[in-house]
Amino acid sequence: MVLTRRSFLSCGAAITISIGCGGKLVLDRSAALDLGLDQRVQDIIYYASLAPSGHNTQPWLVEIEAGEFRLQGRMTVRLDSSRALPAVDPTLRETCISIGAFIENLVRAFDAYGYSTELSFNEQLDASAENPIVVEIVYAQTASHLPRIQALELMAKRHSDKSEYLDKPICTSSLAQLSGQFPELSCYEKGSTGFDWLKTATLDANIVQAADLAKRAELAQWLRFSDEEATEKADGLPAEQLGLSGIIKTLYYWTTDRESAQSDKFAQQGVDMAKNALDHCAAFFVLTGGSGSYEAVLTGRRVQAFWLAATELGISLGPMSQALEEILWASKIDSELGLEQPAQMLFRAGYVENYGENNRIRRPVSAYCTQL
């Protein structure tokens, strides 16, 4: 394993707070545990866990070594092999992207709480190994102000939005800002040739996946069929993460179980929902990146940075990378779109009346953290 060192310095807060109602940040402390750490570090790890992951599997493991006065220390982030998705993600590309998104959140949360971080990445990462180390992080307190609430609120707000988007184009100034910040980003607005190709390819790939019994079974294992199950397991896809709410959510929980979720009828409903989502969006965003596990982790960091930037601009995003998961379209997408590097992530994009926030279906920190 080859580890290379990169440093990220931050100034911000170093005391933990929990702020009440009135639009202020409310920290969910149900994720906390006692690892001999300052409470702030545990809070930071919780915020990192608000990163996205395929089927909300949360495929990360954290090993922590506390330092002097509990204000400095070292941790490693590993890939949790037991939470991979072999049917839909056999190369673990998307799993590595999820780990990268977790790391990006982790660095930003450390920064918001007033810690410097020094990262050493495993550039020879073999994602197929059992629970491989992805990165080692050394952290130390550098400031003693209140946490920078806005940065933390942004992580708590970001989420995947599967609702219908408004018939409204993406703001030109927002596109310019995102393009300037993320040179690996391409936007295909509604009505363009690229948009039409991506829409057709995404729907066709959804249809292929819906017919695949192994992928149906894998999805069903991560679906949650009641609020109680969602709370107990604290991962996977409850109704809200399928874009269901109100009476539709209630009916879904009444009529659906793990067996029926693998039926032809359920698969067709998934295709219909995908078609409706594709019919109601303003644009596609495509993020490119290098090939290989380590490069996918770096792409994951950029994916999360982009998603947070879009969230700040009020742009809703919904990952729809099925065309990258099926070889028939994955082999064509780069040439069809004229991309210089391989496409690694696809989003449908648009605006909604109420952006909402992350539903915070996340495992407690104690479920994936251990002491070194």
Q: Do 303 and 332 fall into the same domain?
A: yes
Q: Do 310 and 367 fall into the same domain?
A: no
Q: Do 39 and 93 fall into the same domain?
A: yes
Q: For residue range 245-279, list pLDDT tens digits in order.
A: 899 999 999 999 999 999 999 999 999 999 999 99
DSSP states of 1-22: --EEEEEE----B-S-----SS
CATH at 278: 3.40.109.10
Residue 218 clears pLDDT 90, i.e. is over it: yes
Residue 9 clears pLDDT 50, i.e. is over it: no
Q: Do 216 and 283 fall into the same domain?
A: yes
Q: Do 51 and 138 fall into the same domain?
A: yes
Tell which residue, 14, 110, 71, 42, has the closest CA to residue 367: 42
Q: What is the mean pLDDT of residues 196-212?
A: 98
Burial class (CB in 10 A: 0-12, 13-18, 19+), 22: exposed
Measured in Å, how far apart are the chain's first and last C-alpha atoms?
19
Tell which residue, 136, 125, 57, has the closest CA to residue 91: 125
Whether residue 76 is contained in a domain is answered as yes
- For 144, the domain range is 3-159+359-371
Tokens 């879904």 locate to 252
Q: Do 150 and 179 fall into the same domain?
A: no
Residue 311 clears pLDDT 90, i.e. is over it: yes
Q: Do 29 and 128 fall into the same domain?
A: yes
The sign of the CA dihedral 94, 313, 150, 116 is positive
Q: What's the pLDDT score for residue 139?
A: 94
User: What are the structure tokens assigned to 297, written together?
Assistant: 């982790």
Q: Do 18 and 117 fall into the same domain?
A: yes
What is the rounded distance in angstroms from the CA atom of residue 252 to the CA atom of residue 266? 11
What is the side-by-side order of every strand in the sheet holding 369-371?
Answer: 3-8, 115-122, 133-141, 72-79, 60-66, 369-371
Q: For residue range 104-158, list pLDDT tens digits in order.
A: 999 999 999 999 999 999 999 999 999 999 999 999 999 877 788 999 999 999 9
Whether residue 246 is contained in a domain is answered as no
Q: Which helix (H) or strand (E) holds 342?
A: none
Q: Do 323 and 208 fall into the same domain?
A: yes
Q: For residue range 322-341, list pLDDT tens digits in order.
A: 999 999 999 999 999 999 99
Q: Do 190 and 325 fall into the same domain?
A: yes
Beta carbons of 341 and 158 less than 8 angstroms apart: no
